Amino acid sequence: MRVLHFFKTYWPDTFGGIERTIHALAKGCNAYGVRSDVLSLSPDPVKNTVEFDGHMAHKAKQSFELASTGFSFEVFGKFRELSTKADIVHYHFPWPFMDVVHFSTPPHKPTIVTYHSDIVKQKALGRIYKPLMLRFLSNVDQIVATSPNYLASSEVLQRFKHKTSVIPLGLDAADSPSAERAEKEQWQARFARPFLLFVGVLRYYKGIHILLEAATDVVADIVIVGGGPMEAELKARATELDLKNIHFVGAVSDSAKAALLELCVAVVFPSHLRSEAFGLSLVEAERFGKPMISCEIGTGTSYVNLDGVTGIVVAPGDPQQLAKAMNYLIGNNELARRYGAAAFDRYKENFTAAHMVAQYIDHYRQLKGD
């Protein structure tokens, strides 16, 4: 069986949450005899068309970008060529231009969509796009939501509940290796006091500005891993608040991230908007057996982090509640240990890549009629 994944970006151009999910599927499906191809856009398609972990990352030249949506004149031909060879086309939503390609170059193959997120930020353009979006989702054969929480809270998915199933995202432990001893010792020397950890791209919906406000009342260090479009603004705000317990360390290596995850008391994830549809960083925290603090935003974050079981869930946009939860875990080692153990168990039971891949294989076989 051959599956074509289609999304706007992929490795080596970018490697965010959706791209990591595509990678886990393409890599994991090899064990079932399923060959995968991934088609995405790139400013340099010749250089960035590469083989990656047993599958091909094909690229089409990105012609321009509008409202965070990549467009390509070249991709129609590439999509026709690759979908002709495929048994199944696997779309990753949202990407409005993908809908245009689907109808302009019909694959004439079974189709499945992983619905990663509603369109949240582009409200005006979303209203214009809505008719095409609904037609696209009506036309595909199957839809997959990434959590029962998101299926229940998405007005769009509720329209297509009859053909939507839930498959949680998963991570392969091999892609989150343990830290090297020397690296762990270096970070431990740098952050000798107990600390909480944030890992993620510094985007508008991540709630880091709320975390900074909360930090004024937190008795521990807070280490922020990652860069992004909000970085300069957030650093300026931390300076303005004279926050001595906030530490921006930027993007770090996988080994360094593993060291910080092993050393931290808990992971704090203050995303306050529905743009945070799942939160793979929370799955990483569970993989390392760490308790979590997150916000109730009606998405998969509260499916990964169960309040009172694997961590604490607070109201979004509330610095006081966030600070209280952080101080509570810092001051209660036994509770943090118990939450962390439950988090690791939940990872093993629900959020491994193997678990995710096996469920998608069942869907692929059903679509193909095997």
Q: Which residues contact 348 (CB under 8 A, 6 or more apart)?
A: none
For domain 2-172+352-368, which CATH number applies: 3.40.640.10, 3.20.20.150, 2.60.200.20, 3.40.50.2000?
Answer: 3.40.50.2000
The pLDDT of residue 128 is 86
List, in sequence order, every residue forming a beta bridge with 244; answer none if it has no partner. none
Model pLDDT, residue 347: 97
pLDDT at 178: 79
Burial track 318-330 (b if 16+ CB lie within 10 A, e otherwise)? bbebbbbbbbebb
Q: Which residues contact 155 (CB under 8 A, 6 or more apart)?
A: 118
Give pTM, 2 decimals: 0.91
At residue 370, the pLDDT reads 75
Looking at the chain, the domain(s) classified CATH 3.40.50.2000 span 2-172+352-368, 173-350
pLDDT digits over 61-115, tens only?
Answer: 999 988 778 999 999 999 999 999 999 999 999 999 999 999 999 999 999 999 9
Query: 308-345, pLDDT tens digit by residue?
Result: 999 999 999 999 999 999 999 999 999 999 999 999 99
**How much is the pLDDT for 176?**
67
- How do the pLDDT tens digits run along the chain, 370 residues long? 999 999 999 999 988 889 999 999 999 999 999 999 999 999 999 899 999 999 999 999 999 988 778 999 999 999 999 999 999 999 999 999 999 999 999 999 999 999 999 987 766 676 889 999 999 999 999 999 999 999 999 999 999 999 999 999 999 887 767 788 889 999 999 999 999 999 999 999 999 999 999 999 999 999 999 999 999 999 999 999 999 999 999 999 989 999 999 999 999 999 999 989 999 999 999 999 999 999 999 999 999 999 999 999 999 999 999 999 999 999 999 999 999 999 999 999 999 999 999 999 999 999 998 7
CA proximity to 32, closest of 349, 367, 369, 362:
362
If one counts every other C-beta atom within 10 angstroms of the C-beta of residue 177, the result is: 11
Superfamily of domain 173-350: Glycogen Phosphorylase B; (3.40.50.2000)
